[in-house]
Amino acid sequence: MSGQPIPVSNAEVAVTRVEVIDHIGQAFAGAPLTRSDLLAAARLGSARPEVLELLGRLPDRRFSRPHELWVDLRDVPIEL
């Protein structure tokens, strides 16, 4: 885990943790996921471009549980 927060730009402020999990949460039912896996799951879930951009900024490593995302995306609000 990098532990370094990824800055959230003004365009991404409307993206929430709830929205991210709505699009990728079910993908965590199997093996740990890479950034590419998360992006594929988000596309499959019809995530909007801002969500894809946010996920694309994650470090290239494996994530075993959804809560691991928030280490790198700690500035993303839970909900609006």
Q: Is the pLDDT of residue 12 over 50?
A: no
Nearest alpha-carbon partner for 23 in 12, 15, 14: 15
Instruction: Read off the pLDDT of residues 33-55 as tens digits, 9 standing for 90 and up.
Output: 999 999 999 999 999 999 999 99
Instruction: Read off the pLDDT of residues 63-75 as tens digits, 9 standing for 90 and up.
Output: 999 999 999 999 9
Q: Is the pLDDT of residue 57 over 80?
A: yes
Mean pLDDT for 55-61 is: 96
Question: DSSP labels for 8-62?
Answer: --GGGTT--HHHHHHHHGGGGGSS-B-HHHHHHHHHHTT--HHHHHHHHTS-SS-
pTM for this predicted structure = 0.81
Which pLDDT value is given to residue 53?
96
